[in-house]
């Protein structure tokens, strides 16, 4: 029997949608577990230790955004793919700010869901480069996937980390939002470029005046040799 790719926890209160997600993820080689309530979903994360979580926003018991917040407050950085309805943009943005790694807007194809899960796991598990970066008080190790500011470790999500490292790998080069979507997320056609702004804002919030990311007005973002 071939080894699985790991267990994906599906937290979705619509059983038909959850069953379809389960079918396609299982076909792709993942084990799955379904919870239809946010509180039970939170308990399942600790009990089952999934490799990723497909998390609906509108859940009974505990909504998906609050569930994500509680995980991050526990220093649990299991990759989270947030699922939202079209009218839930505020929840989607808040979820990203709280540490969700990606999002999908309903309706979506099950094949796209599987592709997003694979992409999130690649971003989490695969080091984006080997050279240790230093910029002022900041030290970023792509192999160990650690970020230190004045020797204090800073927790970044997988996507935040990869975006920071990509800019540091090409220090001084200016990237448009579309280019960053293509390089960091791997695909760009189905995402709003403003999602890049959300992640940059989160990185800056966590790194404070040690952030090396600069806004180039009218173009996009770049990383510099110094922070502040």
Please give the full DSSP string across 137-157, using - where no structure is assigned. TEEEETTTTEEEETTEE----
Domain annotation covers residue 168: yes
**Angstrom distance (rounded) from CA 67 to CA 57:** 9
Q: What gap in Å lies between CA 94 and CA 2, rounded to an integer? A: 38
Q: Are residues 165 and 183 in the same domain?
A: yes
Contacts of 1 by beta carbon, 8 Å cutoff, 6+ apart? none
What does pTM read for this prediction? 0.67
Q: Tell me, yes or no, whether 228 lies in a domain.
A: no
pLDDT of residue 102: 86
- CA dihedral (70, 160, 124, 225) positive or negative: negative
97 and 140 co-located in one domain: no
Q: What is the pLDDT of residue 129?
A: 53
| pLDDT tens sequence across 91-143 | 778 878 888 888 888 888 889 999 989 888 877 665 455 578 888 889 998 87
Contact 87, 100 (CB under 8 A): no
Positive or negative, the CA dihedral 147, 149, 151, 152 is: negative
Mean pLDDT of the chain: 86
Place of tokens 């999908």: 104
Boundary of a domain, candidates 78, 103, 125: 125
CATH number at residue 158: 1.10.10.10
Q: Are 53 and 79 in contact (CB under 8 A)?
A: yes
The rounded distance, in Å, linking the Cα atoms of 61 and 37 is 6
Structural domain of residue 105, as residue ranges? 7-125
Token pair for 154:
């800073």
Query: At 61, which CATH number?
Result: 3.40.50.2300
Is the domain of 93 the same as that of 13?
yes
Mode of pairing for the β-strands spanning 220-223 and 213-216: antiparallel
Domain termination residue (choose one: 76, 105, 125): 125
Distance CA 150, CA 116 (A): 34
Nearest Cα to 42, choosing from 80, 78, 70, 81?
70
pLDDT score recorded for residue 201: 94
**What does the CA dihedral 181, 142, 51, 202 come to, rounded to 10 degrees?**
-50
Confidence bin at 3 (pLDDT 50/70/90): low
Structure tokens at 129: 């480069």
Task: Give the confidence band of 188 by pLDDT, cuts at 50, 70, 90.
Answer: very low
Both 86 and 172 in a single domain? no
Question: Are 103 and 160 in a shared domain?
Answer: no
For residue 36, give both structure tokens.
Answer: 């239809």
Same domain as 113, residue 19: yes
> Among residues 71, 91, 125, which one ends one of the domains?
125
Q: How far does CA 172 lie from the centroid of its chain?
A: 25
Distance, in Å, from the CA atom of 131 to the CA atom of 133, rounded to the nearest integer, reads 6
- What share of the chain has pLDDT > 70, as a percent? 89
Residues 83 and 147 in one domain: no
Lookup: tokens for 68:
């994500």
Residue 185's pLDDT is: 79
1 assigned to some structural domain: no
Please write the tens of the pLDDT for every residue from 56-100: 999 999 999 999 999 988 888 889 999 988 767 787 788 788 888
Residue 164 counted as domain residue: yes
How much is the average pLDDT of 194-219? 92
What is residue 194's predicted lDDT score, i.e. its pLDDT?
Answer: 83
For the stretch 17-58, pLDDT in tens is 999 999 999 999 999 999 999 999 999 999 999 999 999 999
Q: Kind and range of the H or E element at 92?
A: helix 89-98
Q: Which two tokens stand for residue 82?
A: 């947030």
**How many folded domains does the chain comprise?**
2
């Amino acid at each position: 029997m071939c080894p699985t790719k790991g267990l994906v926890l599906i937290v979705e209160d619509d059983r038909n949608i959850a069953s379809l997600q389960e079918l396609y993820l299982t076909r792709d080689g993942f084990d799955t577990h379904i919870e239809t309530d946010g509180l039970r979903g939170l308990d399942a994360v600790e009990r089952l230790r999934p490799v990723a979580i497909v998390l609906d926003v509108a859940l009974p018991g505990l909504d998906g955004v609050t569930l994500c917040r509680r995980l991050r407050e526990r220093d649990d950085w299991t990759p989270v793919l947030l699922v939202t309805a079209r009218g839930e943009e505020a929840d989607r943005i808040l979820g990203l700010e709280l540490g969700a790694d990606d999002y999908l807007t309903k309706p979506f194809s099950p094949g796209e869901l599987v592709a997003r899960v694979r992409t999130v796991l690649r971003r989490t598990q695969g080091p984006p480069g080997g050279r240790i970066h230093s910029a002022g008080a900041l030290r970023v190790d792509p192999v160990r996937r650690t970020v230190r500011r004045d020797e204090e470790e800073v927790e970044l999500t997988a996507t935040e980390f990869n975006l920071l490292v990509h800019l540091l790998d090409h220090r001084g080069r200016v990237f448009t939002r579309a280019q960053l979507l293509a390089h960091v997320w791997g695909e760009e056609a189905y995402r709003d470029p403003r999602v890049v702004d959300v992640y940059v804002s989160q990185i800056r919030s966590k790194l404070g005046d040690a952030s090396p990311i600069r806004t180039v007005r009218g173009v996009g973002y770049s990383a510099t040799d110094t922070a502040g």
